Chain A
């Protein structure tokens, strides 16, 4: 018995063992709205992910399948554990979600699909949260069975290569919703920008924006680039010729990009990497006599929004969302949707990413 993963069971006896688990206590309710598979190639990930899933199941009832893969091992093997995460609902009823953990070693084609995914709850969507770098395991026959593919591109050492694989999966003709947690991190900044531009004075200044500055933590450059790509796509800016010089404009912790407004004028964008910044720190948009500053102190649960146009100044607070991956997944699950906006900005983001 593993204190976190529960009871070890033979792989061909998982179903029976789960039934026995429920038979032990009739006062519990088994709740399940989705299949959530969490894949990692990091050693010790099962215990870490089990703790994340325990928190996640407070708000998102699911059957969790945790997978730890050691592709470097010589021999192919598979071990499984079952447990349930139970929470008191409204202080009275104990609501539980099942978890099956798999430790796989060695390379054996199709095991994930054939063995692990044989334990899905039928008719419910499958969400696969891929942790770390994309590996050859992520191939067409795998993503053909997934409804939603979640990853965090901030973990990727070569994002341009991995995003090319993602685009290939998206163009396969399958209905696959992809969700980058780096994009989820930008959500509250996007909401803040949108709400500040509800102000007619800010809207009037929109065609005259001259500069954008985004401060970010070094690990979260992709979030900053995605936020910039979103601003550019929604505002209708084109990437100018100068974009090709963007890499050359990199000086220390500063990166420069330039865009062209519909009317032909330039918009200068700067990304500032700062070790002491929140994942996304300060966003500043200037032009047409307007200044927007959206600022978040590290660890702060709120972002501060400020709009000034001449004498007109509005300031307010908004939630910053969460930084933790588990909570970001929870936020994403609560929101659902097809994530079409991400697909819309993806080409521009890749353009910026490739420099």
Chain B
């Protein structure tokens, strides 16, 4: 039966009452992101009535102590501040469930708790399992959910799972994890989260491309010279991050998921519709069309890996990567990677896509820039045209979300001199209201059953296939692919600049 009062009220898929079970509930992600996101949804009236939250973790804790810890952090990090009245109504819906991830009895008790909640809610047994634990527990949690029958939705209800990154560490582990997930949940109920896709500008990419008639006709190799995607961080391995990072590296930690997702949004064909599969069908085609760098020679020619050495960032002296806490002093893990990617499709033939991502760079910024070809230099002085360059459309993902277009203009005066000028659109300037946090949007989408902003199984596996070739060339015995160095606080190694110089290009200055 449908709800006639929903008609024409809001233009998004309707979220339904459910119980959200968070595995790894004592972790940072739950305290800093997930519960504040759910709280802010409640504050905005977006969360349906009757949503319950169960934190599942190993430590001994009461409901009250769990809630206190969440409240303490919510006061600090909540986007819309902390309202005592709303928290007082929100907090009783949060419960703590103590259990080992491998304890059958713990899941049995969880099932009983969920059934009791469903009874109180009038039989509505929707469940959303959020696996936010350390990756080594993913298998155990999924198989125990199945064993306890929690993967099976009751009639007329749903049972979904959100899996946090990293979704595997290579193709083999991703396939294994996908197998375990698919043995437990249907693909339609599986939500592989990539919080970059929840960011406003990432969502705006499709709108920019397909709702504005001026861009799409130019969005191809005829008019576009190159595309650059940069994700820079001005942090290193603070807070013990080195332990995880040294096993992963920039390529696996950032490129396989976030940056390839952004790339696919930039390069995809228009989807037939805006359904989750309509969009994801087109995104996966982009990943599948990436030219494989499958020999050490090709990797050496198209990929630069590097580690930072001692330098200074934001005026502070910082150690080199190999001197960082919990990092192997002989580590061969890259803290920086730059790639030249080629998409072998009709639309993108011959257009290089450059990606760079790194730690201890001068500032934190994520940006996509589309560089258009220069017009023929027949009318204006060729030298001045070369000095100014072509049009650049820059899409800033973070911070200062927005879009700018660089154009060439005449400098006022009697002589003909050309200089670039910038048309700038900033979300914060144009829309004073802050955008919801990525996790708010993504959690609400998962509750509403909209998987558009989540990665599908084939997307993840295709991305790993591409990444694995590079990792293999790097780590095979006697690898000839060098590890470059860059001074912390600079924009990366000289080799990364050379990668673009070979094509007559250079990195955009951020």
Contacting pair B432 A60 (CB below 8 A): yes
A231 to B4, CA, bound (A): 9
For chain A, residues 108 to 143, give those with C-beta under 8 angstroms from any C-beta of chain B: none
> Please, which residues of chain A bring their CB within 8 A of the CB of B6?
194, 197-198
Contacting pair A314 B4 (CB below 8 A): no
- Report the minimum CB–CB distance from B278 to chain A (whole Å): 24
Would A312 and B121 be within 8 Å (CB), given that A59-B433, A199-B17, A235-B4 are in contact? yes
B346 at the interface (CB under 8 A from A): no
A215 to B7, CA, bound (A): 24
Contacting pair B432 A314 (CB below 8 A): no
A247 to B428, CA, bound (A): 51
Number of interface residues of B (CB under 8 A): 37
Contacting pair B85 A314 (CB below 8 A): no
B272 at the interface (CB under 8 A from A): no
- Report the minimum CB–CB distance from A57 to chain B (whole Å): 8
For chain A, residues 158 to 214, give those with C-beta under 8 angstroms from any C-beta of chain B: 188, 190-201, 203-204, 206
A318 to B44, CA, bound (A): 7
B510 at the interface (CB under 8 A from A): no
Would A31 and B50 be within 8 Å (CB), given that A198-B16, A302-B86 are in contact? no
> Please, which residues of chain B bring their CB within 8 A of the CB of A337?
11
Across the interface, A89 reaches (CB within 8 A) one of B10, B14, B120, B432, namely: B432
A24 at the interface (CB under 8 A from B): no
A79 to B416, CA, bound (A): 43
Would A203 and B3 be within 8 Å (CB), given that A89-B428, A194-B9, A319-B45 are in contact? yes
Which of A33, A204, A316 is the most central at the interface, judged by chain B CB atoms within 10 Å of its CB? A316
Across the interface, B49 reaches (CB within 8 A) one of A90, A196, A206, A334, namely: A196
- Report the minimum CB–CB distance from B383 to chain A (whole Å): 30
A234 at the interface (CB under 8 A from B): yes
A95 at the interface (CB under 8 A from B): yes
Q: Is the interface of B mostly helix, strand, loop or mixed?
A: loop
**Binary interface encoding of chain A residues 238-249 relative to chain B, with 1 for a CB under 8 A from any of its CBs, else 0:** 000000000000
B48 at the interface (CB under 8 A from A): yes
- Report the minimum CB–CB distance from A83 to chain B (whole Å): 19
A236 to B7, CA, bound (A): 13
A307 at the interface (CB under 8 A from B): yes
- Report the minimum CB–CB distance from A339 to chain B (whole Å): 9
Contacting pair B429 A95 (CB below 8 A): yes
For chain B, residues 13 to 63, give those with C-beta under 8 angstroms from any C-beta of chain A: 14, 16-17, 42-45, 48-50
Would A195 and B49 be within 8 Å (CB), given that A31-B430, A309-B122, A317-B86 are in contact? yes
Contacting pair A305 B49 (CB below 8 A): yes
Would A234 and B86 be within 8 Å (CB), given that A89-B428, A200-B1 are in contact? no
> Please, which residues of chain B bring their CB within 8 A of the CB of A263?
none
> Please, which residues of chain A bring their CB within 8 A of the CB of B429?
29, 31, 61, 89, 93, 95
Contacting pair B5 A319 (CB below 8 A): no
Contacting pair A195 B48 (CB below 8 A): yes
> Please, which residues of chain A bring their CB within 8 A of the CB of B48?
195, 198
- Report the minimum CB–CB distance from B49 to chain A (whole Å): 4
Residues on A lying within 8 angstroms of B by beta carbon are 29, 31, 33, 57-61, 87, 89-90, 93, 95, 188, 190-201, 203-204, 206, 231, 234-236, 301-302, 305, 307, 309, 312, 314-319, 334, 337, 340-341, 344
Q: What 6 additional pairs, Cβ within 8 angstroms, besides A234-B4, A314-B50?
A: A61-B431, A89-B426, A200-B124, A234-B7, A316-B89, A341-B7
